[in-house]
Amino acid sequence: MSDPIRIGLVGIGKIARDQHVPVLRASPRFTLVASASRHGRVEGLPGHTSLEDMLAAETIDAVALCQPPQVRFAAARTALLAGKHVLLEKPPGATLAEVEILRAVARDQGVTLFASWHSRHAAGVAPARAWCDGKTLRRVAITWKEDVRYWHPGQDWIWQAGGMGVFDPGINALSIATAILPPFFLTDGTLEVPANRAAPIAADLTFADAAGTPIHAVFDWRQTGPQTWDIVIETDAGRAVLSEGGSMLTIDGAAQPLPPEAEYRGLYDHFADLVAAGESDVDVAPLRHVADAFLRATRREVEAFDD
C-alpha cells in the first residue's frame, strides 16, 4: 500500500469538525497534517490562518476545502497551482463556470480534483441504483424537509447570494437522484424567498426525464419536529423508498439490510483511489439542477426569516 496522503484541512467549521477531522484521523490512507482557517483550528495540529501560510509552512500532498461555496474557488485554484490534490466539499462552487475552470487547472497541473457529494456514499444509494437498473420508472417523489434553525444556526453565508439557501441540503437529494435516475430536467418550479434574505427557504420543483416520467421535489427549511429526507421511486416492477438521507432502503415494504453509516469514510476512500489512479471526479449534475432552478423557477417572496 502506498504512503498515506498528507492532507491539510481548510475552513474549520461544523462539517470539518463533525466529519472531516474524525474520519481523516481514523483513515490509514491519510495523515492530517495541519489546518488553515481564519478562526478555527484542529486540536493538536499546526493551525494557520490562511491557505497560503499553510502551503508555505507544511509538506502536504492534498487539501480538503470546507469553507462556504462563495469563497472556495480562489482557494481551490491556489492549491491546484501549488500542485496539490483538492477535495471540494459540496457544492463544488457558487457557479458552474468556476468549477469548469478548476477542472481545467487540475488537468493542466496533473493533479486530482474531487468534487465530493457525501450523500452519494450513503449506504442505501448503491443498492438503490442497482435495484433501479433495468426497471421502467413511473414516478419519483423527493421530500427534503428540515429545520434550518437546528442544522444551520448563525450561518449567514447560507442565506446570501451563492449560499443557495434550502438548496444547501436540497442538493444532497439531487446528488442522490442524479446518481440513481436517468438524466432529467426541470420543467417548472417555485422558489420561496424570505423578504429579508437573498436565498430560498423552500422550493417546489417539477422535473421530467426524457420519457416524460414525473420527478417531483419539495425542499423546505421550515420543518420542525420529525425531519424528512426521503426519495420514493415507483417503477413497473415495484417501489423503493430511500429514507434518512439515503441511509435506509425499503423495497416493496421490506427494509433492506445495509451497513452502518460511513459516508465520509467512503468519500475519503474514493479521494484516495482517485489520487492513486491519477484521476479526477468532477460531476456538476446536482449543481446544474440548482442553477436551472434559479433560471427556470418562479420566485415568490414569503415572510421574513430571523434566526
90 catalytic per annotation: yes
Q: Among residues 58, 61, 146, 168, which is the contact residue for ligand NAP, using CB under 6 A?
A: 168
Q: How far is the CB of 251 from ligand NAP (least distance, A)?
A: 27
Which of residues 67, 178, 213, 247 is near ligand NAP by CB under 6 A? 67
Interface with ligand NAP by CB under 6 A: which range of 7-15, 106-114, 131-139, 265-273? 7-15
Burial status of residue 199 (CB atoms within 10 A of its CB: 0-12, 13-18, 19 or more): buried
Contact residue for ligand NAP among 6, 15, 208, 256 (CB under 6 A): 15
- C-alpha to C-alpha distance for 56 and 160, rounded to whole angstroms: 32
- Alpha carbons 127 and 133: distance in angstroms, whole number: 10
State whether residue 275 is helix, strand or coil: helix
Pairing of strands 254-255, 248-251: antiparallel
User: Which of residues 71, 218, 251, 302 is near ligand NAP by CB under 6 A?
Assistant: 71
* 11 is an interface residue for ligand NAP by CB under 6 A: yes
Fill in the per-residue mask, 116 to 135: x = in contact with ligand NAP (CB under 6 A), - = not in contact.
--x-----------------
DSSP helix/strand/coil, 200: coil
Q: Which of residues 29-58 bind ligand NAP (CB under 6 A)?
A: 37-40
| Minimum distance from residue 126 beta carbon to ligand NAP (Å) | 19
Alpha helix (H) residue ranges in 19-71: 21-26, 51-57
Q: How many CA atoms lie within 13 A of 115 on its CB side?
A: 24
Within 78-97, the residues that bind ligand NAP by CB under 6 A are: 89-90
Which ranges constitute the DSSP H helices of 155-225?
167-180
- Residues in the chain, how many? 307
- Please give the residue ranges that form the binding site for ligand NAP (CB under 6 A): 11-16, 37-40, 66-69, 71, 89-90, 118, 155, 157, 168
Task: State the catalytic residues.
Answer: 90
